Amino acid sequence: MRYLFPMNLYRLILYQQYGGRWHYVRLTAESGSVLRTDTGVCGLPPEKEEVASLAPETDPQAALRAAGAEWQAQGWRKPAPQEVLVLTLHFQMRRWHGYPAGAPWYDDLTAGYLDPIQEALETHCNGIPRGNDRFSGNYLYYFTIFNSDLALETVERIAAAAPVQFLLDIHIGRREKQVHIPIDPNVPEYLRSLFRVVEKSARTIAHELPVLFPGDPLQPEPVLNGAAPKRVRGEQAALLRRILKEKWNFDSNFWNPLTDASPTQVVFLNGMAEEKTQQVIQMIRQRYEAPLYMLDCEEGLFEIVPESIFKGVYEGVVFDASAAWIIYFSHHHTVTFGGEWLVPAVKELYKEQPEVLNVW
């Protein structure tokens, strides 16, 4: 997931190939607690586990960097993309015009396939999500994998047990599976050729990006450690979506200012400074009715905490159990506020800068 929470638990995973297989060392550190070291074969439970105490004032990220540097000196590292394989999950779904989270089949897809597959691959360091793509009913999800046999076995087992079955093709190769993108037959031939050139270039650039921008191999990553957003599914999710539609005319698609969908007055901004977002969070923390929800149009419906309201949203809304107010985040980086108390509060917040309100 893309949402960030206050935490002090971090991890660092490095890899090494020997004996014909990829192995992992997973370092996990918590401030004032312990440094845990797990080693094993990718795709299998740890073969060895060690725990060392950390001083109360220890910075967990610094501890991980120091420990990681020692393993790095022994040959452990982040492999280059060309050294590992790519797992593609290719779902062929009923056509849906709009963001995935609005589709009637999306909850079954995440519950039966996507969430358990990602969890299983991550548990034993055998899969790293590397993006997704969708078009014309084709939904493709990509993972970097280290043990292809165990990854395939894991996906097949989970797919076979899924309560609702979808058409799934599993592909493992050096690159992501490429699906032919259909072009409307009415498009002139010279434009069809241009589209194909652009498509090929885009895929080539996407494949090379990890090489061009390798990143920091010793950068620790936060571990949600129980603070992960709780996914909302089933009847509760259906009810919340219905409330959003009836009260705010939001149906997991564009909203104000991209469209004139809101049934009541709203106020919007073209981006917000960190200082202002923290003030809005403080206002909401004092007035919201739990639970607090985020409907991410790409990834689904979740319970969140106030601190994560402005973290990671690309297209979607935040609201609470009362649905008396709403915040909409658009892919154009606009932030729109609705609600009898929230709209005046935001206007008051910007009373010294009225020129930045409702400018599109």
Q: pLDDT (tens digit, 9 = 90+) per residue, 271-295? A: 999 999 999 999 999 999 999 999 9
Q: Which residues pair with 35 in a beta bridge?
A: 29, 52
Cβ atoms within 10 A of the Cβ of 243, count? Answer: 15
pLDDT at 5 over 50: no
What pLDDT is attached to residue 223? 82
Instruction: Return the H-helix or E-strand segment holding 267.
Output: strand 266-269
The predicted-structure confidence for 62-102, as pLDDT tens digits, reads as follows 999 999 999 999 999 999 988 999 999 999 998 888 888 88
Residue with tokens 């009847």: 235
What pLDDT is attached to residue 8? 67
- Bigger pLDDT: 133 or 213? 133
Task: Determine contact, residues 64/45, Cβ cutoff 8 Å.
Answer: no
The SS3 of residue 39 is strand
Closest CA to 31 of 57, 12, 52: 57
Residue with tokens 């990143």: 215
- Bigger pLDDT: 310 or 32? 310
What pLDDT is attached to residue 6? 40
What pLDDT is attached to residue 2? 41
The predicted-structure confidence for 42-63, as pLDDT tens digits, reads as follows 999 999 999 999 988 889 999 9
For residues 79 and 299, what is the distance between their CA atoms, to the nearest angstrom? Answer: 28
pLDDT at 103 over 70: yes
Mean pLDDT of 112-116: 96
Strands (E), 19-166: 21-30, 34-41, 48-53, 85-92, 127-135, 138-145
What pLDDT is attached to residue 3? 40
Q: Give how far Cα 242 sits from Cα of 248, 264, 293, 323, 353, Å.
A: 10, 17, 14, 11, 36
141 DSSP 8-state letter: E
Mean pLDDT of 185-196: 65
For residues 301 and 238, what is the distance between their CA atoms, to the nearest angstrom? Answer: 10
- Bigger pLDDT: 121 or 99? 121
Distance of CA 289 to the CA centre of its chain: 25
Q: What is the CATH number of domain 81-179?
A: 3.30.70.1710
352 DSSP 8-state letter: T
Put the strands of the sheet holding 127-135 in their side by side order.
127-135, 138-145, 85-92, 167-173
pLDDT at 132 over 60: yes
For residues 347 and 268, what is the distance between their CA atoms, to the nearest angstrom? Answer: 10
pLDDT at 192 over 70: no
- Rounded to the nearest 5 percent, the helix, strand and coil shares of the chain are 35, 30, 40
203 band by pLDDT with thresholds 50, 70 and 90: low
The ranges assigned to domains in the chain are: 9-72, 81-179, 230-356
224 band by pLDDT with thresholds 50, 70 and 90: low
pLDDT at 207 over 80: no
